[in-house]
């Protein structure tokens, strides 16, 4: 069982070598992907099938990304992309979600970053001795080093995982843009103060 595909509408210049595909597999992913996606449209380029999936990615276009896998029913334990599934069912391309399958969506910016956002920046309070500093973003103590090369030398705290006292995120910019306000306190680039959650 295949599924009917939408036309491969593009705002860019379509290659004359690309042949639109009318039908496609229900699910696609490349070897490196952690979930299955639903194809919205597809083209045949030479001998390669490239699918645009509902969440906006292209699957199958690059040899480097690994082999294209297709499925009518999912053969492994991986979840299905929730964006793809919701849109495929919402447009009527599919009548139902994937039976018994976890839908997965991980919105960006909801979980703290892997590295403390003050890493490699001068967002620290120097401690006696001059070789360590207390991170303004997470309060942990780490070495400080000269960074940035001979012409743009500055001192920064080394890259480190966020400590337990990491500041509560800005509602707009999350953990991405900590800086100092005029009084030297930690603030988001938009001016909102950033403090450790109580």
The residues of the shown chain that bind Zn ion, judged by CB under 5 A, are: 37, 53, 55, 81, 84, 116, 118, 135, 137-138, 170, 172-173, 188, 190
Residue 187 CB: number of other CB atoms within 10 A?
Answer: 21
Measured from the CB of residue 7, what is the shortest distance to Zn ion in angstroms? 19
Q: Measured from the CB atom, is 19 or 158 closer to Zn ion?
A: 158
Q: Measured from the CB atom, is 100 or 171 closer to Zn ion?
A: 171
As a residue count, the chain comes to: 198
142 contacts: CB under 8 Å, gap ≥ 6: 124, 132, 133, 135, 157, 158, 160
Measured from the CB of residue 37, what is the shortest distance to Zn ion in angstroms? 4
CA 55 to centroid of chain Cα atoms? 12
Q: Measured from the CB atom, is 43 or 57 closer to Zn ion?
A: 57
Q: Measured from the CB atom, is 19 or 132 closer to Zn ion?
A: 132
| Nearest alpha carbon to residue 162 among 153, 172, 175 | 175
SS3 state of residue 58 = strand
28 burial level (CB within 10 Å; 0-12, 13-18, 19+):
buried
Measured from the CB of residue 113, what is the shortest distance to Zn ion in angstroms? 10
Measured from the CB of residue 95, what is the shortest distance to Zn ion in angstroms? 18
Q: Measured from the CB atom, is 15 or 176 closer to Zn ion?
A: 176
Residue 70 CB: number of other CB atoms within 10 A?
Answer: 17
Measured from the CB of residue 150, what is the shortest distance to Zn ion in angstroms? 26
Cross-strand pairs, 183: none
């Amino acid at each position: 069982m295949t599924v009917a595909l939408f036309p491969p509408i593009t705002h860019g210049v379509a290659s004359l070598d690309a042949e639109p595909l009318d039908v496609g597999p229900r699910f696609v992913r490349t070897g490196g992907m952690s979930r299955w996606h639903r194809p919205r449209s597809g083209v045949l380029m030479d001998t390669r099938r490239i699918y645009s999936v509902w969440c906006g990615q292209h699957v199958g276009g690059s040899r480097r990304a690994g082999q294209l896998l297709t499925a009518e029913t999912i053969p492994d334990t991986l979840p299905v992309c929730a964006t793809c599934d919701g849109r495929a069912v919402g447009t009527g391309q599919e009548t139902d979600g994937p039976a018994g399958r976890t839908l997965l969506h991980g919105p960006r910016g909801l979980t703290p970053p892997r590295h403390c956002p003050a890493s490699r920046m001068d967002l620290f309070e120097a401690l006696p001795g001059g070789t360590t500093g207390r991170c303004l973003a997470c309060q942990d103590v780490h070495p400080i080093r000269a960074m940035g090369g001979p012409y743009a030398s500055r001192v920064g705290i080394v890259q480190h995982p966020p400590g337990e006292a990491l500041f509560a995120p800005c509602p707009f910019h999350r953990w991405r843009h900590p800086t100092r306000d005029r009084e030297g306190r930690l603030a988001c680039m938009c001016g909102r103060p950033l403090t450790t959650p109580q």
